[in-house]
Amino acid sequence: MSVVGRRFVCRALASSSPFRRAKVVPCSRWTCAVSSIRPLFTGQSWTENKTAKHDPKSAQQFSKDVFKKLGPFWLRDNCQCEKCHHPQTRQREVDTFAIPPDIIIKKVIYAAEGLEVEFSDGHMGFYTYAWLKANGTKKPNSVLRADHTAKPRPYHPFTGTGPYPTVLYDDVMQDDKGLLQWLDKIYIYGFCFVIGVPVTTRDTEKLLERIAFIRPTHYGGFWDFTSDMSFGDSAYTSQGLGAHTDTTYFTDPARLQLFHLLSHTDGEGGASLLVDGFRAAETLQKEKKTHYAQLMRQSQPAHASGNENVCIQPIHEFPVLEIHPQLEQLYRIRWNNYDRAPKTNWGIKDLKQWYNAARHWNEIISREKFQIWTQLEPGTALIFDNWRMLHGRSEFTGKRRMCGGYINNDDFLSQYRLLKFGREHVLNNLGNWHGEGHKEANPNFLI
Ligand SMILES: [Fe+2]
Ligand SMILES: [Zn+2]
C-alpha cells in the first residue's frame, strides 16, 4: 500500500512530496500590476512604486515594520491572496516548504485595495492595509523552554512490517476485556483497525461510544459527511491532504479520531495516510537536535475560521512538540500547516530557525518509510491517536460517504486507566507522577 497516494495528479506534483496542495504560482489577479521587474528588496530596505499609493504614510510605515521585523519569507508564507489562503476555509493553501528559503521581494506597489508585493519566485502577493497594520507592531515574546534530550512517552512504532494493529468489532462490543484490548493497541501503536463493523452510522457511533461520549465541535458531534463543503474546511473537499493533526486550533485538541468509510461510488483514490509523529520527532532529534528543540521552543498560533459564525483560536500559542511538565516526555504533536495562523511576535532570527526546523520536519514526515498508506473499506473502521499520529489522504474522485467522530483526551485516559488498573489503584495514585516502584504500575504513566 505504500505508494497508493502517488495517484495524486494536478497541483500535488509540484514538488517532491506527494502532498503538495498548491504550487507556487503568480496570482493572475495581480500580474497586470507589474511592468518593470528589478530586485529591490533584500530584507532590510526597499524602494516602493509610488504610482498607485493609498494612505501612503500609514501603509508605508506598517509595511516597513512587517518587512523589517519578519522579512520576505514570512511575508510570502503568509500571503493573503486567494491562491495562498483559501477564500472560504481561510486555510493556508500555499506550500510553505516549496517556497525558496532565500526568496526576496522584487517590487512593492501601494494599490488602492492593499499592498501588492512581487516576490522573486514570480508570485504576486497581496495584503490589505488592515492586515499589515495588525501584524506590524508586536514584540517578540513567545519563547518557551526547550529540552533537547526529552524522549517521547513510551510507544511502539509501527514500521510497516507485520500485520496492522487490529481488533474485532464483536470483541470490542462484547465486554471490557475486548475494549481494553482495543485501547491498548490505540495507545501503543497509535492506531488500530476495527474489523466487522456493521456499515451503518448508528453502529459506528455505538462503537466509538464504547470508549466515551463523542466530543461535539463546530462540525457537530458524530459526523456523517460527503465532500460537499457543508463546512468550510478542506476535509470536506475531495482534494489530497498532507499529513497533519486535527484541531490544532483548540486549546485541548481532540485525542482520538475514528473514520468509517460507508461507501465510495463512481470513483477511486482516497487512500488514508498515517505518520507516526513520535517516530518522526525521534528522527528529527537524532538528525539535528537544534531543530528538535526549535519545534518545542517556538509556539505557533492556529485558527479555524471557515464558517461565518466561527473563528476559533487556542487560548495561547502552542509548540509543534509538547513536553509533559511532570514526566518530561514528548506527549503531543500539533502539526497542521493549513490551520497555522500568521505568527508575528517573533524576530527574524527565531523565525528563520523555526522555518528551518519545520522544513526538516516536513521532509521527514514526507519520507516514504514514515508513511503508512491504507485503503479504507466499508466494514473496517480506523481509529488513531490524534496527539501522536499525523493523518492525511490522497485525492479521490466519485462520491465518498464517511462517518466518524472525536473523543476527548481526558475521557479516553479515564476509561483506559480504569480498565487497565482498576478503580482502586487509580484512586490510590491520584496526582502521583513519580511514585515508587515500576513506572508501568503507575496509571499516571499513561499520558
Ligand atoms: Fe484531518
Ligand atoms: Zn499569494
| pLDDT, position 134 | 76
| pLDDT, position 205 | 98
Give me ligand 1 centre to Cα 3, in Å.
Answer: 20
Give me ligand 1 centre to Cα 240, in Å.
Answer: 11
225 three-state secondary structure = strand
Average pLDDT estimate for 125-137: 82
Please report, rounded to a whole number, the percentage of residues in the chain having pLDDT higher than 90: 67
Give me ligand 2 centre to Cα 267, in Å.
Answer: 32
DSSP state of 31: H
| For the CA of 259, the nearest ligand | 1
Average pLDDT estimate for 191-210: 98
Q: Give ion ligand 1 contacts, CB < 5 A.
A: 246
Give me ligand 1 centre to Cα 142, in Å.
Answer: 27
- Residues of 257-281 as b/e, b for ≥16 C-beta within 10 angstroms? bbbbbbebeeeebbbbbbbbbbbbb
C-alpha cell at 49: 512604486
- The four Cα atoms 334, 403, 309, 74 give a dihedral, to 10 degrees, of 30
Give me ligand 1 centre to Cα 393, in Å.
Answer: 9
**Predicted TM-score of the model (pTM):** 0.83
Q: Do residues 329 and 152 make contact, with C-beta atoms less than 8 angstroms apart?
A: yes
Average pLDDT estimate for 115-127: 95
| pLDDT, position 135 | 75
Give me ligand 1 centre to Cα 244, in Å.
Answer: 6
- Predicted confidence (pLDDT) at residue 25 exceeds the cutoff of 50: no
Question: How many Å from the N-terminal Cα to the C-terminal Cα in the chain?
Answer: 31
| pLDDT, position 433 | 84
Give me ligand 2 centre to Cα 24, in Å.
Answer: 8
Higher pLDDT, 58 or 281: 281
| pLDDT, position 226 | 84
Give me ligand 2 centre to Cα 395, in Å.
Answer: 23
| pLDDT, position 83 | 95
| pLDDT, position 224 | 92
379 three-state secondary structure = coil
Q: Do residues 361 and 243 make contact, with C-beta atoms less than 8 angstroms apart?
A: no
168 three-state secondary structure = strand
- Dihedrals phi, psi of 67, to nearest 5 degrees: -60, -45
49 three-state secondary structure = strand
Give me ligand 1 centre to Cα 331, in Å.
Answer: 19
Please report, rounded to a whole number, the percentage of residues in the chain having pLDDT higher than 70: 83
- Predicted confidence (pLDDT) at residue 130 exceeds the cutoff of 90: no
Residue in the structure block whose three cell numbers are 526576496 = 104
Q: What does the alpha-carbon distance between residue 107 and residue 10 come to, in Å, rounded to a whole number?
A: 30
Instruction: Find the farthest-apart pair of alpha carbons in the chain and give their distance in angstroms, rounded.
Output: 76
Give me ligand 2 centre to Cα 122, in Å.
Answer: 10
Residue ranges of the chain that CATH labels 3.60.130.10 = 147-421
| pLDDT, position 144 | 66
Q: Do residues 270 and 396 make contact, with C-beta atoms less than 8 angstroms apart?
A: yes
Higher pLDDT, 231 or 274: 274
Q: What does the alpha-carbon distance between residue 273 and residue 12 come to, in Å, rounded to a whole number?
A: 15
Give me ligand 1 centre to Cα 212, in Å.
Answer: 20
Residue ranges of the chain that CATH labels 3.30.2020.30 = 56-135
pLDDT digits (tens, 9 = 90+) for 295-346: 999 999 999 999 899 999 999 999 999 999 888 899 999 999 999 999 999 9
332 three-state secondary structure = strand
Give me ligand 1 centre to Cα 41, in Å.
Answer: 38
| For the CA of 31, the nearest ligand | 2
pLDDT digits (tens, 9 = 90+) for 78-87: 999 999 999 8
Average pLDDT estimate for 380-399: 96
HSE-up of 235 (CA within 13 Å, CB side)?
A: 23
pLDDT band at residue 63 using 50, 70 and 90 as cut-offs: confident
For domain 56-135, is the CATH number 3.30.2020.30?
yes
What is the CATH code for 147-421? 3.60.130.10
Give me ligand 1 centre to Cα 380, in Å.
Answer: 18
Q: What does the alpha-carbon distance between residue 423 and residue 429 come to, in Å, rounded to a whole number?
A: 10
- Predicted confidence (pLDDT) at residue 139 exceeds the cutoff of 90: no
| For the CA of 237, the nearest ligand | 1
Paired strand residues for 391: 244, 274
| pLDDT, position 146 | 66
pLDDT digits (tens, 9 = 90+) for 221-257: 999 988 777 777 777 788 999 999 999 999 999 999 9
| pLDDT, position 39 | 31
| pLDDT, position 57 | 65
What proportions of the chain, in percent to the nearest 5, are helix, strand and coil?
30, 20, 45
| pLDDT, position 67 | 80
C-alpha cell at 347: 524576530
Give me ligand 2 centre to Cα 198, in Å.
Answer: 45
| For the CA of 393, the nearest ligand | 1
